[in-house]
Amino acid sequence: MKQWNRWNPSSYGWANEALAYEQQLQQSQPLPASDWTKERKVHMLSQMIDYYATHQQDNGAIIDPHSEAERYYSTPSYALAAAVLVSSGREDLLDSAAKALTHSIELLVSERTPDQHPDFFIIMIMGAYRILKSRLPEQAELWKQSLATIEPEQTYLFTMSKMKNPNRMINWNAIMLSGEVIRQAEGIAPTDTAWIDDYLQQYHLPRFTSLGWYEDGPLNRPNSPFAYDIATRYHLSVMMLSGYQGTTVSELQTQLQHGAISSLLTLSPLGELPPRGRSAQHQWNEAAAAFIFTMQAQQAYADGEVQWAGAFRHAADLTWEAIAKWQMPDGYVQIVRNHYPAEERHGYEVYSNHTTYNLWTAAALAYTLWYEQAEEIMPYPIPVELGSRTLQADGWFETVFSSVPGQQLVIHTALNDPYMIPGVARIQRAGLHANLATSSSGHQNQGFTEFSIGDIFPLSHMPAWHTQDQVWHHLAEGFPTVFPFDRDAGVDPSDGGGSYTIAESATTSDRSHLVIKWQGPLQGIDHVIATYEQSPGHIVITYEVGHDQDSEQSTQQIDHIGAWIPLFQSDGQESSVIETATQESTEVIILTYRGQQLRIVPVTPHSMITFPQEAEQVASRNGLLRGARIEAPGQRISFEIGLP
């Protein structure tokens, strides 16, 4: 039976874009064979696990070296990753993996999981159990007896029996369901899937958008982080591969297929998922994507879709590479993409933990290795490497993607979200360091995110304007809303009267033209029009602000307009050099970071470059930003970004 069916054009939101990419793919040639061999992947995983093996206690628990405690689901994650390495020939890890598994099972069945995260345990436990049971049959019988005592509605936290709230049936519940399917497949739990089908049908399938993306958060007001979209789809994909055959299997398979294509279409040229919401810029995002891309590659290859298979294979390789760049000599990875010491928690979420998110990353990569087959799939270019495109996210994701070959802009659009401010949040180009033109913005409200240094300031590529009361305003100020910001519940993007539209969009093979219009009760104006012109290595951004006809604010005069520029300042290990120079009678900004250079060139006559004190040292997940503002008289301003 054919497993890979491309997409359903009647229900997939980006069907035309996917078809256009397929046509480009058919005219492309395969890329050189990947050096991301299974041996290299096993070596990378081994380094991670060998580091944490030194932090294992006699009872099997993995202790975090910074908080000096067992945290969250670190131990079952270790058990799974170590077990996969055992299956790859690391017999020296057998006893360590078994001890971690025994301890994890004891914690789960006795309802003593660290930090109250039982729902995450079972999918890791069952993965390790499947591998180790044949090597340790006597111990496996004891494991099985303990696992048979689990009562899902009682053992786990995010169930309707405990929460009694449909809005709380979020990613935790889907993760638990995925592990329970494996427990059924192993003959440890009753095989009736009716209760699983009910959860999936009522609370999870309604969360999928037409793009196959999963909207996490309350059903009526999801906060929709991209991290928890990919994490949930990863777990549900493991569930499908583990033999789920319930009543939702067909629809779920379609949604997972659509989501994988959407992730492929939006993957950056550096193999990073888009930043939006909590847990962005955490390495485990790409680890989950590596699994999804690898499984899609295998399904497409088995069905004769060689080029699609090659594109997914290449995407998976890029995500492995994105993580590997941050692996330290000791073996662990920097869990957030900066070089600040782990104990300083810079860019961490309140729940981020060094051991937990290293080992969750290791577990997802381990599941990828466990399911990966031996076919030699030749890589093909991913979408951002072929042609140009503009993609508008649906649902509550509030993001627009604009790309030309090897280069991508990620633009956030919500005017009333202090956590994910509007404007260009990320610019990445192949061959350049991800931080050179910035990979994440500042915040107006840090929400879940903690910083060890820097000020909280809403800094992205966005317009500013100077009103007659001698005050500078900017797009991220937004406007009053009916509901106050709630980091857990999310923000309705229409709350307060704001909106955005894509006014124009046109592409050629290597150029992109995009115009976004924001409207709302902004300070002193009614709308902002932003134009983004791209070609490889070159970006021109133009902002225009104004009043709508018969507006109450039409008497407000705008005497100057500005453009905020986020400049990368430090990653905690290396600082950039930010300087200005005169180029053909125009003052320009030159940023040099890790041997690469970025240029910002004002285009509008009579422009001047300022460095406002309030944005001198701005915290971002990747480190520190410094804000520059280009200012010019009038209501329209343009500038160029030169990427070498």
Residues 414 and 270 in one domain: no
Asked if 332 and 54 count as a contact pair (C-beta separation under 8 A), the reply is no
Asked if 489 and 392 count as a contact pair (C-beta separation under 8 A), the reply is no
Q: Tell me the residue type at 19.
A: L
Neighbouring-strand partners of residue 327: 333
Q: 544: pLDDT confidence band, cut at 50, 70 and 90? A: very high
CA dihedral 300, 303, 307, 310 (to 10 degrees): 40
For the beta carbon of residue 458, count every other beta carbon within 10 angstroms.
Answer: 24
> ∠ CA(11), CA(410), CA(452), 5° rounding?
125
Residues 396 and 493 in one domain: yes
**What are the φ/ψ torsions at residue 275 (nearest 5 degrees)?**
-85, 125
Residues 378 and 398 in one domain: no
As to burial, measured by CB atoms within 10 angstroms (0-12 exposed, 13-18 middle, 19+ buried), residue 192 is exposed
Residue 3 resides in a domain: no
Structure tokens at 341: 């010491």
pLDDT tens digits for range 343-399: 999 999 999 999 999 999 999 999 999 999 978 899 999 999 999 999 999 999 999
Residues 362 and 455 in one domain: no
What pLDDT does residue 553 have? 59
Residue 586 resides in a domain: no
Q: Are strands 636-642 and 423-429 parallel, antiparallel or unpaired?
A: unpaired
Residues 282 and 376 in one domain: yes
pLDDT tens digits for range 314-335: 999 999 999 999 999 999 999 9
Residues 379 and 434 in one domain: no
| Max CA separation in the chain (angstroms) | 83
pLDDT tens digits for range 121-143: 999 999 999 999 999 999 999 99
Please state, rounded to an integer, the average pLDDT across all residues of the chain: 96
Structure tokens at 195: 């209760």
Closest CA to 181 of 228, 254, 241, 98: 241
Q: Look at the alpha carbons of 24, 30, 33, 37 in this order and tell me if their dihedral is positive or negative.
A: positive
Give the separation between CA 257 and CA 305, rounded to whole angstroms: 14
Of 352, 384, 416, the last residue of a domain is 384
SS percent in the chain: helix, strand, coil, step 5: 35, 20, 40
470: Cβ contacts below 8 Å, ≥ 6 apart: none
> ∠ CA(162), CA(165), CA(167), 5° rounding?
130
* SS3 call for 199: helix
What pLDDT does residue 1 have? 59
Give the separation between CA 374 and CA 377, rounded to whole angstroms: 9
Asked if 404 and 385 count as a contact pair (C-beta separation under 8 A), the reply is no
Q: 555: pLDDT confidence band, cut at 50, 70 and 90? A: low
95: Cβ contacts below 8 Å, ≥ 6 apart: none
- Secondary structure (DSSP) of 33-92: PPS--HHHHHHHHHHHHHHHHTTB-TTSPBPPTTT-S--TTHHHHHHHHHHHHHHTT-GG
Give the separation between CA 159 and CA 237, rounded to whole angstroms: 21
Closest CA to 157 of 69, 72, 272, 262: 72
Structure tokens at 611: 């460095």
CA atoms within 13 A on the CB side of 488: 4
SS3 track for 420-435: CCCEEEEEEECCCCCC
As to burial, measured by CB atoms within 10 angstroms (0-12 exposed, 13-18 middle, 19+ buried), residue 346 is buried
Give the separation between CA 138 and CA 98, rounded to whole angstroms: 12
Tell me: pLDDT of 480 over 60.
yes
Give the separation between CA 419 and CA 210, rounded to whole angstroms: 25
pLDDT tens digits for range 142-188: 999 999 999 999 999 999 999 999 999 999 999 999 999 999 999 99
Give the separation between CA 297 and CA 293, rounded to whole angstroms: 6
Residue 583 resides in a domain: no
* SS3 call for 481: coil
What pLDDT does residue 479 have? 87
What pLDDT does residue 551 have? 66
Residues 276 and 232 in one domain: yes
Taking each helix axis from N to C end, the angle separating 15-26 and 249-266, rounded to the nearest 10 degrees, works out to 60
Closest CA to 318 of 397, 231, 385, 236: 385
Q: 243: pLDDT confidence band, cut at 50, 70 and 90? A: very high
Asked if 362 and 81 count as a contact pair (C-beta separation under 8 A), the reply is yes
Of 384, 411, 432, the last residue of a domain is 384
Say how far residue 498 (Cα) sits from the centre of its chain: 25
Q: 583: pLDDT confidence band, cut at 50, 70 and 90? A: confident
Give the separation between CA 114 and CA 493, rounded to whole angstroms: 36
What pLDDT does residue 554 have? 57
Mean pLDDT in residue range 235-252: 97
What pLDDT does residue 644 have? 86
Taking each helix axis from N to C end, the angle separating 226-241 and 171-185, rounded to the nearest 10 degrees, works out to 10
* SS3 call for 599: strand
Q: How many domains does the chain have?
A: 2
Residue 331 resides in a domain: yes
Q: Residue 335: give its domain's CATH number.
A: 1.50.10.10
Read off the DSSP letter of residue 569.
E
Residues 50 and 184 in one domain: yes
Provide the domain limits for residue 309. Answer: 15-384
Tell me: pLDDT of 336 over 90.
yes
Residue 589 resides in a domain: no
Q: Residue 547: give its domain's CATH number.
A: 2.70.98
Asked if 292 and 263 count as a contact pair (C-beta separation under 8 A), the reply is yes
Residues 378 and 391 in one domain: no
Residues in the chain, overall count: 644
Residue 353 resides in a domain: yes
Residue 308 resides in a domain: yes
Mean pLDDT in residue range 613-617: 97
Residue percentage of the chain with pLDDT more than 70: 98
pLDDT tens digits for range 451-465: 999 999 999 999 999
Give the separation between CA 450 and CA 425, rounded to whole angstroms: 18
CA-based radius of gyration for the chain: 25
> ∠ CA(438), CA(439), CA(440), 5° rounding?
100
Tell me: pLDDT of 598 over 60.
yes
Of 361, 384, 407, the last residue of a domain is 384
**What are the φ/ψ torsions at residue 482 (nearest 5 degrees)?**
-70, -45
Asked if 72 and 63 count as a contact pair (C-beta separation under 8 A), the reply is no
Residues 407 and 263 in one domain: no
* Stated pTM of the model: 0.97
Residues 344 and 438 in one domain: no
Residue percentage of the chain with pLDDT more than 90: 92
Structure tokens at 390: 């503009």
Residues 207 and 305 in one domain: yes
- Secondary structure (DSSP) of 451-503: -SSSB----SBEEEEEETTS-EEEGGG----SSPP-TTT---TTTTS-EEEEE
Tell me: pLDDT of 106 over 60.
yes
Residue 446 resides in a domain: yes
